Each structure stands twice: as structure tokens, then as C-alpha cells.
Chain A
Amino acid sequence: MVRNSSPMSLLPSHTNTRSSLQSQATIISNNLVSVSEHLSDHRDLLSSLVAYPGPDYPGRTQAGILEQLLRTKLDPRVEDWVARGRAAGSGSTPASAFTTSDAASVPAPSALAANDFKPLSDAELAELWAWAPVEANQEARRRNWGGNFTLEEREAGIENVVTGLKRQLEDDEGDEEDEEEEGDGDAEGEDEMEIVGVRRRSGAGTVEFDVAAPHHHKAEPVVPLPEILRYMTTGRMP
């Protein structure tokens, strides 16, 4: 009678933390993008502008500030960053490799790094970078990101899947050819499950139930409890 709870229900707080981290990161990233856009929009102007302090600038007292404002040298960290990029871009010629590793296994990145690589020319690199995003996107679309079953399971027939759950998992995804844009939003809505967990703390012998998000479409009682009790007591119909 005790139902197993899916591990998914165990992680609500984690999920919250993660999504808030993600949204923060997105905000920062967006800001960075907008700064970067501004800079590149006005690149011509900025690169041809020569700035110098006017006579009314209190150069004697505020030289430090002026130095900061009219910085000519990169910050050490930025300098380092540039240097590292340079080293990566030129230190060894741009390189890539097609290894013959088994597609079914996922090799650790370190293992890959140890392999020999044939260098890739600039043109090849450009070609790869042009091809990859499209290909990745297509690949992503072929996956079923939401839903209760993997593609393999659906191909083998979902009725053969042993879930260990008493309730029936709905296969709410359409057929696999469904090419519609997989937004994260709608998958979340469909994933809402009726999860009831029973927790028993040993010793105290207490049990608590956790009921997942309420179902909005289910019918709520029409006759209020007092009316039912009154009917049961006196036979008076509400």
C-alpha cells in the first residue's frame, strides 16, 4: 500500500536553487552581451577617438582617476586572458581530430585530449563552426526532452517498459516525428505528476503524506460538508 515516490519529487528545493542560479547567470550574460554590443556598435568612433584632459580638469589632485579613465594598458587579468587566447589560437596550430572511438561509449574528455590530432585549417575550422550549430540543433530536435519515456523505449513499445509504478505513466508526447519546437515550458507542464510519497520516520512512527501540485481540472465537492452532515442527521435535503 505504500507507494514509492519518484526521485523527481525529492528535489524541489534543489530545482529552485538551480533555476534561480540559471536565471541570474542569464541576466549577467544578457548584460554582458549588451555591453559588448554597445562597444562593437561604436567601435569605429571609439577606435578613432583621442581623449585628453581639458584645462579645467584638476589634473594635480585627481591624476589617479584620470589614469583609470584614460587607461591605455589592459588590466593584468585581461592581459592574461588575451595572452591565453593567443596561445590557444597560435601556440599550436588550430587542431581537431576525428577519432574512431566507439559511439556507444562516452569517453572522458581527458582521454580525448591524449589522442593524436590532425590540425584543422582555418577554412576547415570555419566550415565546422558553420555546420555544427545547425547539426546540433537538428540533433536536439530529434530528442524527446520531456515526457516519461525515452525514444528507445517508445520504439520498443512503451507497454513493455517496467516502471515499477502502479499508476500508468501517460505517454503524452505525440509520435516521434513530432517536429514542433520543444520549448522547456510546455514540457514542464506536461510533466506534472501525481506523486504521493509516504514518509515514515522510524522510531517516531509517524507518517506524512506529500501530495503533489493540486489538479485544477478535478471536480471539487458541490455540496458543502455541513449540508451533507445535516442531511445525514435529519434527512433534510440541502
Chain B
Amino acid sequence: MHELLLFASVPQHQHHELLQQLAGLTAMQPRHALERRLIFKAYRKPGLGASRTGGSQDLQASGDLQRVTKMLNGGMFYTQVVGPVAENDFSPSGPDADVQMSGTEGNSAGSAGAYDYEQQPWRLEFRDVPEAGTRSAVTARVMATAALPCGDVVPAMNAWGYHFVTEYVVEGDMFTYGDIVLFLHRVLHYPSTSLEDKEPRKHLPALSEMSVMEKSGSYVLQASMTVLDGSNQETMKTASRHLFALREKLRSAVKLEMADRLSLDTRAK
């Protein structure tokens, strides 16, 4: 599958306004989305012992295995594991939040709506480097998505030769406009993020303790479209045309552009 994208930076003060404009444009209420995103990085040369041991048993049943193995062995890449979370998965904020936080990892907080890491669904989102030198002014890249077993994904990822780098949370609102998905989002950091974190968190802090990565609180608007067959020039053109039409419509509000190719470089060096 191919993915065509346009991006825009949205200053914080424009966020509310843009939300309303997008709601008007797409004639729908925004769908709020919270996602955990885990970044993994390949540490093994492809083809070296891509074993099927470890946590991959569940995956074999899913039939996604072949694709996943293929995409993960294509080269040395960064890849993302995305898990949708709900607002009440985060610890309730309040005076006792700290107490819960300080509890040992094994202890469940016990409160209602406590986050259950074992039940956390995940999907692997593989994204290739954007195609170079495309004359059209959109970012186009090969993409693939596969469902992963719930719970701890690290063993499975390790088995494929990937190790955990870091994680963050993406918070935003989603709209659909025809075939285009508009995602107005920003990155949230966990409190006191020590980059030495060796594995994904088992517990989530209170949402209010999360801090925005971009200190001014700005958002990123991503307009994306997927094309089943990237080799079909006709559909690719149609998709670009749709994106350009959207860009024109939103021109007076935001400036959607293709992204700097290297900023989306997923190759691990």
C-alpha cells in the first residue's frame, strides 16, 4: 500500500478555530484519538536469524506474519508500534495520583478504569522512506500495517531484530473528508521522561501530567490518503488530486505542504 501525505504546522492559538473549520468542512464531529506510539529500531542486519520464536505464536494465526516478516526484513528501519488508548486509561489525576504512581510496577492501581497493559492492542505501522524526487508536491511512501498481539510486544519485536527506542503519546482529533483522513495532533511526553527507558510503560500517568513536546503547544495537521496499488499511476494521480483540492480549500486557514523527506526518513543508520 502507498500513503500520500500533506502536513501543516498549526499554532496553538489557531487550534480551536481550525477544529471548527474542519468540522464544518467535513460536516462531522471530530473524533478524539489518543495513541501510544512505541518506536523500535532494527539492530540486526536483515536476514540474520529472523527467527519465529518468542511472542510470535499469536501472530502466526493472524496470517499477517508473512507480511510482517517481509516488511521487517526489508532493511534496517525504524518502525512504530501504535496502540490506541482511551482517556480513562490514564490514571485519574488528583492528590493520590502520585501515590499510585510510586507503587511498584507489579501492583495494579486497583482503581476503576485502571490501565491493563496485557489487554493493550497494538498494530505495527511500517513506513518506508518517502519516495525521492517525486515531481508531485505530495509526500508518498510505501506503508504497511499489521495487527500485533495484545500486551507486551517487546519480545516479539526483539525476535524480529528490533529493540525499543522510546515512546510517546499522540493526542488529537480525526476527521474524514471523502477518502482523506485529517489528523490534527500533537505529541505528548510522559512526565520526567528519562530517555533511558528501556521498555514500554506498564502504567499510564494522569493525562494532565503529560507535557507537550512542542512547548508552544502547536499541532500538526496531517492529511493522508492510502492507495491500495501504488504502481497504478492513475489512482496515485487521483489521490494527489484529492489532496491538492483539499489543500486549496484549506489554503486560507492552513498551508498544507509535503514534508521534508529526510524528516520522515525511517532508515536506521
Give the B-binding residues of A (Cβ under 8 A): 1-3, 194, 196, 198, 206-211, 215, 218-235, 237
Contact = CB atoms under 8 A, between A and B. Distances in A.
Interface string B235-266: 00000000000000111110000011011111
Contact of A219 (B13, B168, B252, B260): B13
Query: Is chain B's interface secondary structure helix, strand, loop, or mixed overall?
Result: mixed
Nearest to A225: B9
Contacts of B116: none
A168 B41 CA distance: 49
Contacts of B216: 219-222
A234 B39 contact: yes
Given A207-B24, A208-B251, A209-B252, 5 more contacts: A2-B24, A194-B17, A209-B250, A235-B39, A235-B168
Nearest to A198: B24
Nearest to B7: A225
B220 A211 contact: no
A231 B218 CA distance: 15
Contact of A229 (B11, B252, B260): B260
Query: Is chain A's interface secondary structure helix, strand, loop, or mixed overall?
Result: mixed
Nearest to A237: B195
B263 A233 contact: yes
B24 to A, nearest CB: 4
B69 interface: no
Contacts of A2: 24
B187 interface: yes
Contacts of A207: 24-25, 249
Interface string B1-36: 000000111011100010011011100000000000
A223 B249 contact: no
A233 B21 contact: no
Contacts of A228: 9, 187, 213-214, 220
